[in-house]
Structure 1
Amino acid sequence: MDRVENKLSIIIPIFNEKKLLLKFFTDLFSAYSNHYVNYVIINDGSYDGSELWLKENIEPLANKKIKKIYLTKDNKFKIKHSNSKLLSKFNEIQLINHNKNIGKGAAVINGLKKAKGNFLMILDSDMEYDTEDSLYMYETIQNGKMGDVIFGSRYTRDLPHRHRYYLHTLANKLNTYLFNIFFSSHISDIHCGLKIFSRDVYKKIRLSSYDFSIDLDLGTQIAKSGFLISEVGVSYYSRSYYEGKKITWLDGLLSYYYIFKFRFIKNNIKNNLLIYLSMTTGLITGLHFGQGIGKILATIFCVFLGSIYGIRGSFLGLLLLIVFMLVGSQFGNGLVQIFATAIFAFTAIFLSNKLDKRNK
Structure 2
Amino acid sequence: MLLSVLIPAYNEINSIDTLLEKIQAVPINKEIIIVDDGSTDGTRERLKTFDAVPNIRVIFHDHNQGKGAAIRTAIQHMTGDIAIVQDADLEYEPQDYMALVKPIADGKEKVVYGSRFLNPENRHSYYSFYIGGQVVTLLTNALFNQRLTDEPTCYKVFDADFLRSIPLECTRFEFCPEVTAKVAKRGIRIKELPISYYPRSIAEGKKISWLDGIEAIWVLLKYRVMK
- Bin for the TM-score computed over the shorter chain: over 0.9
- Does 2:51 correspond to 1:59? yes
Deviation of 1:203 (Å): 4.1
- Does 2:199 correspond to 1:241? no
User: What CA deviation, in whole Å up to 9, does each residue of 1:43-72 have, x standing for no partner?
Assistant: 11111110111112x1232xx4xxxxxxxx
Distance 1:203 1:24, change over 3 A: closer
Deviation of 1:10 (Å): 0.9
Taking the aligned partners of 2:165 and 2:185, their CA distance within structure 1 comes to 10
Higher relative contact order (CA 8 A, sep 6+): 2
Structure 2 counterpart of 1:36, from 29, 42, 65: 29
Give the conservation status (yes or no) of the 8 Å contact 2:11–2:40. Answer: yes
Deviation of 1:143 (Å): 2.1
Classify the secondary structure of the residue corresponding to 1:41.
strand
User: Structure 1: which 5+ residue stretches go unaligned?
Assistant: 1-5, 65-91, 268-360
Deviation of 1:171 (Å): 0.9
Taking the aligned partners of 1:255 and 1:119, their CA distance within structure 2 comes to 25
Give the conservation status (yes or no) of the 8 Å contact 1:205–1:225. Answer: no
RMSD after superposition: 1.3
Match of 1:153 in 2: 115
AA partner of residue 28 (structure 1):
I
Structure 2 counterpart of 1:96, from 47, 54, 59: 59
Q: Percent of pairs identical after alignment?
A: 32
User: What CA deviation, in whole Å up to 9, does each residue of 1:305-356 have, x standing for no partner?
Assistant: xxxxxxxxxxxxxxxxxxxxxxxxxxxxxxxxxxxxxxxxxxxxxxxxxxxx
AA partner of residue 55 (structure 1):
K
The number of residues matched between the two structures is 227
Match of 1:143 in 2: 106
Deviation of 1:38 (Å): 1.7
Taking the aligned partners of 2:83 and 2:18, their CA distance within structure 1 comes to 22
TM-score (norm 1): 0.61
Give the conservation status (yes or no) of the 8 Å contact 2:100–2:193. Answer: yes
AA partner of residue 119 (structure 2):
R
Give the conservation status (yes or no) of the 8 Å contact 2:6–2:34. Answer: yes
Give the conservation status (yes or no) of the 8 Å contact 1:40–1:115. Answer: yes
- The structure with the largest helix share of the pair is 1
- Does 2:12 correspond to 1:17? yes
Match of 2:22 in 1: 27
